[in-house]
Amino acid sequence: MFDILRRIFDIIFPPDEDNLCVRNMTPKQVRLLYHLQSKKSTHTLSDYKSKEVRALIHEGKFHANARAWLLLNVLFNMYLKQNTCSFDYIIPIPLSNARMRSRGYNQVHKVLLARNLSKKVEIETGILKRTRNTKPQTDLPRDKRLTNLEKAFVVTSPSKVTGAHILLVDDVVTTGATLSAAKASLLPHSPASITCVAFAH
């Protein structure tokens, strides 16, 4: 019955290519997209050049696609299972208040919540706040991306950061400016370690 209704709906409202790609993808196929790379102290889990990865990121970020969140969670759990480090907090890169109101969700946070993580780690959204609505990094040339993020993050709970092992998570990394700026705001509060991860590069 559900399949019939979906076919009718698809005829009336044809789904776009990314939506179809995500709909037809399986967790097994997503695991094949996992390709861990490390560059400048940032770990990336897959290649954004892949059509499937782009579809997952795009659908999760701009269309609140719960299946995309779930499948990206598969990638993230693979990283956690293979990583021998233990973390006190996972911090998704925060959105500005304006973008949060406009979008209605933080896509990285949604991925982390899509299903249980393979390690018991507290997902913390209260430690790090975005202080202003910066321009999207993809809209800027490389030399403007770092200055765009100057003082864009503030730590609201310094006592939690001190001595803590922190995992900072973003969706896509290009120059790494966003993760670097977030990390720089945490470092003065003496964390034990900060590891940066992005779903794709």
What is d(CA 50, CA 105) in angstroms, rounded to the nearest whole number? 25
Q: Domain residues of the chain, as ranges? A: 2-200
Tell me the C-alpha distance between 196 and 162, whole Å.
17
Report residue 57: phi and psi, to 5°: -65, -45
Tell me, yes or no, if the pTM score tops 0.95: no
pLDDT digits (tens, 9 = 90+) for 10-23: 656 567 899 999 99
pLDDT tens-digit profile of 149-198? 778 899 999 999 999 999 999 999 988 889 999 999 999 999 999 999 99
Per-residue model confidence as pLDDT tens digits over 120-130: 999 999 999 99
The CATH classification number of 2-200 equals 3.40.50
pLDDT at 40 over 90: no
Write down the pLDDT at residue 143: 63
Check residue 131 and give left, alpha or beta (phi > 0: left; psi -120 to 50: alpha).
alpha
pLDDT in tens, 134-157: 656 565 566 665 566 778 899 999
